[in-house]
Structures are given as C-alpha cells and as structure tokens.
Structure 1
C-alpha cells in the first residue's frame, strides 16, 4: 500500500509499471518518496514562516498545507515529465529548465527552516537591533522636546538670576544703612540721623521690590516648571507608545535580514542539502540507464504515434482521392446536353422570379 502510494507520488504510469519488474517499481517508489517528503518539509517550513507573519497556529497550518500541496504538485510534474531519450543532449536540454525550477523550490523551502534552525542566534541579533532602535527612537523623540525644555530651563535660570541680583542689591543697601547707624561708613556719625533715614527708606523700597519680584518670578517659574513637566510627560508617553512597535520588530523580513547578519556558510550548507534533495529525482532519472518502464513507455508512445500518423495519412489520401473523383465526375456531367438544358430552364425561371419581385417592391414604394 505504501509502495503504491509512493509510485503515485512519482508521477509514473501505474498501468505500465505494474507490468515491470519489482526492481523497476522500487526505483519509482524511491523517487515518489523523495517527492512526498520534500512536500512534507515544504509544509513544515512554510507553516513556520507563516506563523511568524500571522501569529496564528491554525492559519499557518492551513496555508502551510496548501503550500506543501503546491510544492508536491510541482515536484511530481517535474519528475514525471523527464523521459529517457536516445540522445544525452536531448535529456540535458529537457532537464535544464526543470533543474532551475528545482533550485528555486529548494531556496523557498530551505529559507524558513534556516530561520527555525538558527532561531536563537537570530533572536540575539534582533535583540541588539531592538536595543539600537530603542536608543535611536529615544534620541529622535528627545530631539523634538529637548530644545524647548532647555529654553524653558534657561528662562527659569534668568528669573532666578533676577531674584539673586535683586537680593544682592537689597543686602548691599542693608549693609549701607547699618554702617551709617553704627558710624563705620558714610558720615561716620553714630546714631540714626537724616542720612540713615534716607538710606533706610531706600533699602525698604528695594526690599519691597524684591518681595514683589520673588512673588512674580516664582509664579512664572512654577508655570514654566509645569510646562516642562508636561513636555517631559509627553516625551515619555511618545517613547512608551512607540516601544511596542520596536518590541514587535521580529517579523519574517526582520528575521531574514537578521539571518543575513550571521555567517553564510551554515545557511549555504542547509541550502545545498535541500537542493540535493530537490534535484535528486531529476539526476536519478538522467544518470540511470533506460529501464524496463522506459522501453514500455516508449513502445506505447511510438505505437500511438504510428497509429495516429497512419490515420492522418489515410484521411489525407482519402480526401485527395475523393477530390479527384469529384472533379472527374463533374467534368463528365458538364458535357451532357440534358444537364445544360435543365440548368438553362432553371436559370430562366430564376430571372423571372427576380424581375417579378423587383416590380412588386418598386410598386409598393410608389
């Protein structure tokens, strides 16, 4: 039962193969097994690749089965259409396009399996790429907010500087009127005279200005600090919102690109393995000598070809003979007087009918 199934997978004519030896049947069963298991590997590979795209197991398996059946049908067609010829060059010519197609199929099958085999290494590459993308994303977002934040911080520094400058001025005035009262500076007269009073009033006025300046600037600073906090919160929100996009940077294309970052030799050997599997039935047919199945198939094909050619030639000969007979018969009839008179009579009747019909049409038109 299994052997018969693999023979069907090989695309061979089962009716002819039943008449062949067991060895010949085993050869085609082996070819069919290669075709079948290649399709199985294609199903597994495509299911994994599609799972990285859809993130859904059932969808990946469904479309993977469809892809496996497609590969199975292509491989079966490639193998079944290669036939042994009497000329090696003819065999090579008929196999060349099929080999190119087999190479393409081998690439398509091997690439998803490479992604699975080197999954850990690919994940490491993707992690490094995600880290780089995270830093780059943070820097890009920071470039949008940092200049504004720095400008606001400079405004706070300016306001604080104004307060500090005013405090220095008030302290200086304080030291001046205290020194005047103590007689250590100014008029050098001990006591609170008119000069002391003038300097004290000047200090008190500056102190009032300082208090008002502190109140105004502190209000402005609080507003600016609130704006800075809002900008920083917005910046952090943008970073947090964009981070899931970076975290999901592990799709099929990203993994293929990450695979390209790894050493090429292991991937190349895996590709060669699948190329060997994919092309082995083709080369098996090319390298093997003509077997019993090939001779029986050739006998059947040449029999049908000969019989078809014979029937076509017979039809052509029959047509040629019939035309010659018809020409001869009509030539003989054309010389008979009775036929001439009959044709003349019918032609006369036809002309009369045409004249009557023309008269009726003209009359109805008038």
Structure 2
C-alpha cells in the first residue's frame, strides 16, 4: 500500500510501472517518497512562517496545507515531465528550467525552517533592535516636546529671575538706609535723620513691590510648573503608546532580516540540505540509465505517434483523392451539351425578365 502511494507521488504512469520489475518500481517509489516528504517539509515551514504573520494556528495550518499541496503538485509535475533521452546534454537542457524551479522552491521552503531553528539567536537580535528602537523613539518624542519644555522652563526661570532681581534691589536699599542710620555711609551722621527717613521710605516702597511681585509670579510659576508636569505626562504617554508597536516588531520580515545578521554559514548549509532534497529526484532521473519503465513508456509513445502519423497520412491521401475525383467530375459536366442548353435557356429567360422590368420602370417615370 505504501509503495503504491509513493509510486503515485512520483507521477509515473501506473499502468506502465505496474508491469515493470520490482527494482524499477522501488526506484520510482523512492522518488515519490522524496516528493512527498518535501511537501511535508513545505507544509511545516509555511505553517510556521504564516503563524508569525497571523498569530492564529488554524489559519496558519490551513494555508500551510494549501502551500504543501502546491509544492507537492509542482514537484510531482517536475519529476514526471523529465523523460530519458539518448543524449545526456538533451536531458540536461530539458531539466534546466525544472532545476531552476526546484532551487527556488528549496530556498522558499528552507527560509522559514531556518527562522525556527535559529529562533533563540533571532530573538536576541530582535531584542537588541527593539531596545535601540525604544531609545530612538524616546529621543524622537523628547525632541518633539523639547521646544515646549524649554520655552516653559525659560519662562519659569525668567519669573524667578525677576523676583531675585527685585530682592537684590530691596536688599541694597535696606543696606543703604541701615548704613545711613549707623553713620558709616551717605551723610555719615549717626542717627535717623531726614536722609534716613527718605531712604527708608524708598526701601519700604520697593519691599511692597517685591511682595506683590512674589505673589503674582508665584501664581504664574505654579501654572508653569503644572504645565511642565502636563508636558512630561504627554511625553511619557506618547512613549508608552508607541511601545506596543515596538514590542510587536517580530514579524516574518523582521525575523528574516535578523536571520541575515547572523553568521551565514549554518544557514547556508541548511539551505543546501533542502536544495539537495528538492533536486534529488531530478538528479536521480538524470544520472540513472534508461530503465524498463523508460523503454515501455517510449514504446507506448512511439505506438501513439505511429497511429497519428498513419491517420494524418490517410487523411491527406483521402483529401487528394477526393479533390482529383471532383476535378474529373466537374470536367465531365463542363463538356455535357444537354446541361449547357438547359443553363442557357434559364439565363435567357432571366435576361428577358430583367429587360421587361427595365422598360416598365421607364414608362412609369415618363
């Protein structure tokens, strides 16, 4: 049962191969087994690749089955269409497009399995890339809000600077009227005279302005500080909202790119393995000598070609014979006098009717 199934997978004519020797049947059963297991590999590889895309097992398995059947039919077609010839160069030229197609299929099949085999190494590369993307994203978002943050900070610093300047001015006025009272500066008269009173009055006026400025600027500073907290919260929210996108950066294309950043030699050998598996049925057919199946297939094709050639020859001969017969028949008819007189009589009657009709039209028009 298994042998018959693998022979069916090889794409050979079962009516012919069943009449061949056991060794010949085993050869094509081996080719069919290679085709079948290549399709199984294609199913596994495509299912895993599609799972990384859809994140759904049932969808991945369904499309994986479709891809597996497609590869199975392609391989079966490739193997079944290669026919043994008497010249190896002719066979190789015939197989060249099929080998190219087999190479493409091998690469497509091997790539998802490479991703699965080197999954841990790929995860490491992806983690590094995600961290770099997170830092770059945070820097980009920070730069986006930086102008507003800097402007707000500058306004707070300006308000605080105004208070500091006013405090310095008040302190200087305070020192002025104190030194005047002590007699160490100004008029250098000890005591609280008119100059002292004037300077004290000026200090008190500036002190009131300072208190008023502190009250007004304190409200403004509080507003600016609240705005700074809001800007920081918006920045953090922007970074947080974009983080899931970075965390989801592990699709099929990202994994393929990460695989390309790993050492190429292990991946190359895996691809060579699948290439060998995929092309082995074709290579086996090219290298193997003509077998019993090939001779019987050639004999059956030759029989069909002979029948077609005979039918084509008979049809052409019948066409030529019929043409010669009809040429002779119409030549004899051409010489028949009775037929000539009959046709002449009909033609004369037709001419008379046409002439009478023309005369009637002329009479009506006058």
Do the structures match in fold with TM over 0.5? Answer: yes
Provide, for residues 231-271 of structure 1, a one-character-per-residue CA deviation record: whole Å limited to 9, x for no partner.
11111111111111111111111111111101111111011
Q: Give the match for residue 80 of structure 1.
A: 80
TM-score normalised according to structure 1 size: 0.95
Q: Give the match for residue 21 of structure 1.
A: 21
Q: CA deviation at 1:222?
A: 1.5
Report matched runs for 1:154-169 at 5 Å.
Answer: 154-169=154-169
Q: Give the match for residue 7 of structure 1.
A: 7
Cα separation, partners in 2 of 1:106 and 1:341, compared to 1, 3 Å: same
Structure 1 counterpart SS, 2:214: helix
Q: CA deviation at 1:148?
A: 2.3
Q: CA deviation at 1:364?
A: 11
Q: CA deviation at 1:345?
A: 2.7
Q: Give the match for residue 291 of structure 1.
A: 291
| Distance of 2:135 and 2:341 partners within structure 1 | 110
Provide, for residues 146-166 of structure 1, a one-character-per-residue CA deviation record: whole Å limited to 9, x for no partner.
132122212222221221121
Cα separation, partners in 2 of 1:254 and 1:339, compared to 1, 3 Å: same
Q: Give the match for residue 243 of structure 2.
A: 243
| Distance of 2:232 and 2:52 partners within structure 1 | 36
Q: CA deviation at 1:352?
A: 5.4
What is the CA RMSD across the aligned residues, in angstroms?
2.1
Q: CA deviation at 1:228?
A: 1.5
Report matched runs for 1:23-62 at 5 Å.
Answer: 23-62=23-62
Check if 1:263 corresponds to 2:263.
yes
Cα separation, partners in 2 of 1:361 and 1:84, compared to 1, 3 Å: farther
Cα separation, partners in 2 of 1:252 and 1:351, compared to 1, 3 Å: farther
Report matched runs for 1:306-321 at 5 Å.
Answer: 306-321=306-321
Unaligned runs of 5+ in 1: none
Check if 1:131 corresponds to 2:113.
no
Structure 2 counterpart SS, 1:86: coil
Q: Give the match for residue 113 of structure 1.
A: 113
Report matched runs for 1:183-332 at 5 Å.
Answer: 183-332=183-332
Unaligned runs of 5+ in 2: none
Which segment is superposed worse, 246-255 or 352-361? 352-361
Q: CA deviation at 1:172?
A: 2.1
Cα separation, partners in 2 of 1:202 and 1:250, compared to 1, 3 Å: same
Q: CA deviation at 1:335?
A: 1.1
| Distance of 1:306 and 1:329 partners within structure 2 | 34
Q: CA deviation at 1:178?
A: 2.6
Q: Give the match for residue 99 of structure 2.
A: 99
Cα separation, partners in 2 of 1:9 and 1:249, compared to 1, 3 Å: same
Aligned residues: 366
TM-score normalised according to structure 2 size: 0.95
